[in-house]
């Protein structure tokens, strides 16, 4: 479950009468309760919005190895929400979350790396790898961006078949930008290439299942 999915589950399942128990467990050092309390303060659910307290509780949870807390802190530092904006701290937290396999952290770290990156540089290569890790977990944005990068071939080597695969999966996940990108890609491909890509993709999907 990605950080965004975890946040959604917490916010949708929260009932105000749960707050005293969450606060008590958080004060006693329960990392999951600390993370939950940080989420509640960040979103103003059951409590008044307080980004500062959100950062405090999320930092406590992160210090106890809660990966989702690290990713959420990365977002807060990237956007200056409750803390002074810091690209370095955002990157550090995203790296920690990405190492734990969180697709949101992987995608966010890739976005930071790709800003100002030049073709063929280690930053561009690392970003591509992170997008692929996130895309393999079905992350909607990563599916689209990975397909777009491979289709354009501006920052990384062009790979029309891989771009076709990722963009198709993004479209299946409801991405409108991916639909436009896929249309532009197929417009410059031969019909025989498209059919071959579809066939190969179907075979790979059948092999997985």
Q: Each residue of 146-169: pLDDT tens digit?
A: 999 999 998 889 999 999 999 999
pLDDT of 175 higher than 80: yes
DSSP 112-134: HHHTT--TTSHHHHHHHHHHHHH
Task: Return the CATH fold of 3-101.
Answer: 1.25.40
| pLDDT score recorded for residue 1 | 78
For 171: left if phi > 0, alpha if psi spans -120 to 50, otherwise beta; the answer is alpha
Q: Each residue of 57-87: pLDDT tens digit?
A: 999 999 999 999 999 999 999 999 889 999 9
> The pTM is what?
0.90
Q: Each residue of 9-21: pLDDT tens digit?
A: 999 999 999 999 9
């Amino acid at each position: 479950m990605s950080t965004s999915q975890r946040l959604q589950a917490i916010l949708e399942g929260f009932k105000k009468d749960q707050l005293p128990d969450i606060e008590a467990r958080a004060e006693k050092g329960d990392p999951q309760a600390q993370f939950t309390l940080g989420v509640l303060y960040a979103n103003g659910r059951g409590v008044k919005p307080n980004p500062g307290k959100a950062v405090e509780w999320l930092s406590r949870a992160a210090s106890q190895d809660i990966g989702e807390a690290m990713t959420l802190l990365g977002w807060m530092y990237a956007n200056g929400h409750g803390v002074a904006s810091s690209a370095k701290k955002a990157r550090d937290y995203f790296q920690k979350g990405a190492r734990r396999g969180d697709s949101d952290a992987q995608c966010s770290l890739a976005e930071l790396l790709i800003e100002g990156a030049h073709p063929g540089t280690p930053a561009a290569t690392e970003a591509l790898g992170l997008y692929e890790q996130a895309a393999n977990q079905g992350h909607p944005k990563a599916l689209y961006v990975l397909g777009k990068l491979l289709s354009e071939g501006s920052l990384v080597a062009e790979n029309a078949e891989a771009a076709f695969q990722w963009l198709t999966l993004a479209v299946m996940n409801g991405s409108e930008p991916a639909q436009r990108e896929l249309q532009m890609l197929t417009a410059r491909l031969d019909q025989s290439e498209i059919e071959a890509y579809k066939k190969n993709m179907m075979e790979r999907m059948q092999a997985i299942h």
